[in-house]
């Protein structure tokens, strides 16, 4: 979820409360019966505080107005590396593409938004039922991301659709995957859960105009990708600096 800078302290407070809730719920499994009522009360109070902070965050986001200034439209010229954590090496890749993504920074440079995401297509690979190619497109409305002008760090949500060239009768072979919320593309570090794999991003370098966005998420549906994680690295340079 996109959070403007003025609201991020509330978002951080929600994260801290969720960690408290998680630790208390874990503790509840091990304490003797006599200690459970106190922990249950802490959990109830924490849930209440989370609800209050979420309402505060929603109001803060709704009240956000970008500072005056001209937006900046530019291109992110990048290499995209897609690796699907699947046992079939043809499906797994890595698959590499060269693309240009049109993006826009708000007048205050705090909001960044993709304007178009070009279609990308894998080379043909073997599957158990024949040869296949996969076409990747963005699905739905482009969502707002965040940019920190001082540090160069960025967070960018995307929703991608993977269309398989092979059509199996009675089987939904196409897959969707969301890179939003905790799975959004980031210039920081992310890790896969199904394998010991770490992807490292890098913030915007003002000398070279380069940055790297990374993310890991799980396919929601479709055969054979559903349930597998997909690691994506987008490494490139901005044509114009924000």
Any domain includes 207: yes
Q: What is the predicted pLDDT for the residue at 62?
A: 79
Any domain includes 67: no
Q: What is the predicted pLDDT for the residue at 63?
A: 86
Any domain includes 186: yes
9, 106: one domain: no
Domain of residue 92, residue span: 72-238
113, 77: one domain: yes
Please tell me the total count of domains within the chain: 2
Asked which of 62, 90, 106 is the last residue of a domain, the reply is 62
218, 98: one domain: yes
- Element spanning 135, H or E: strand 134-138
Residue 180's pLDDT band (cuts 50, 70, 90): confident
Distance CA 152, CA 64 (A): 21
54, 79: one domain: no
Report how far Cα 83 is from the mean position of its chain's Cα atoms. 15
Asked which of 16, 39, 62 is the last residue of a domain, the reply is 62
Q: What is the predicted pLDDT for the residue at 8?
A: 86
Backbone angles phi, psi at 54, to 5 degrees: -65, -40
Q: What is the predicted pLDDT for the residue at 2?
A: 64
57, 85: one domain: no
Asked which of 62, 87, 104 is the last residue of a domain, the reply is 62
58, 142: one domain: no
Q: What is the predicted pLDDT for the residue at 232?
A: 96
28, 125: one domain: no
Global confidence as pTM = 0.78
Any domain includes 110: yes
Report how far Cα 17 is from the mean position of its chain's Cα atoms. 22
Long-range contacts of 51-58 (CB under 8 A, 24+ apart): 53/10, 53/13, 53/14, 53/17, 54/14, 56/10, 57/3, 57/7, 57/10, 57/11, 57/14
Any domain includes 199: yes
81, 189: one domain: yes
Q: Are 64 and 4 in contact (CB under 8 A)?
A: yes
- Torsion sign over Cα 195, 101, 203, 154: negative
105, 146: one domain: yes
Any domain includes 20: yes
198, 107: one domain: yes
If one compares 100 and 129, the residue with the highest pLDDT of the two is 100
Q: What is the predicted pLDDT for the residue at 152?
A: 95
Compute the average pLDDT of residues 55-76.
Answer: 87
Residue 235 has pLDDT above 70, yes or no: yes
> 227 is written with which tokens?
């349930």
Any domain includes 201: yes
Residue 129 has pLDDT above 80, yes or no: no
22, 118: one domain: no
188, 207: one domain: yes
Q: What is the predicted pLDDT for the residue at 5?
A: 80
Q: Are 174 and 222 in contact (CB under 8 A)?
A: yes
Compute the average pLDDT of residues 106-122.
Answer: 92
């Amino acid at each position: 979820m996109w959070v403007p800078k003025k609201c991020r302290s509330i978002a951080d407070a929600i994260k801290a409360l969720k960690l408290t809730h998680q630790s208390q719920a874990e503790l509840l499994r091990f304490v003797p019966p006599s200690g459970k009522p106190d922990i249950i009360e802490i959990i109830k109070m924490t849930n209440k505080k989370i609800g209050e902070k979420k309402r505060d965050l929603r109001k803060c986001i709704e009240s956000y107005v970008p500072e005056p200034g001209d937006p900046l439209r530019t291109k992110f010229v990048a290499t995209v590396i897609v690796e699907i954590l699947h046992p079939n090496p043809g499906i797994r890749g890595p698959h590499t593409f060269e693309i240009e993504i049109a993006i826009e920074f708000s007048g205050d440079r705090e909001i960044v938004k993709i304007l178009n995401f070009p279609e990308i297509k894998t080379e043909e690979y073997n599957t158990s039922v024949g040869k296949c190619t996969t076409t990747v497109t963005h699905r739905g409305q482009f969502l707002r991301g965040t940019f920190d002008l001082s540090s160069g760090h960025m967070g960018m949500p995307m929703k991608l659709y993977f269309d398989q060239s092979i059509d199996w009768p009675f089987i939904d072979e196409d897959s969707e995957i969301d890179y939003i919320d905790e799975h959004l593309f980031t210039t920081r570090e992310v890790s896969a859960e199904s394998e010991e794999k770490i992807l490292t991003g890098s913030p915007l370098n003002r000398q070279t105009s380069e940055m790297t966005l990374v993310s890991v998420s799980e396919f929601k549906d479709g055969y054979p990708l559903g349930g597998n994680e997909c690691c994506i690295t987008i490494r490139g340079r901005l044509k114009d600096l924000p």
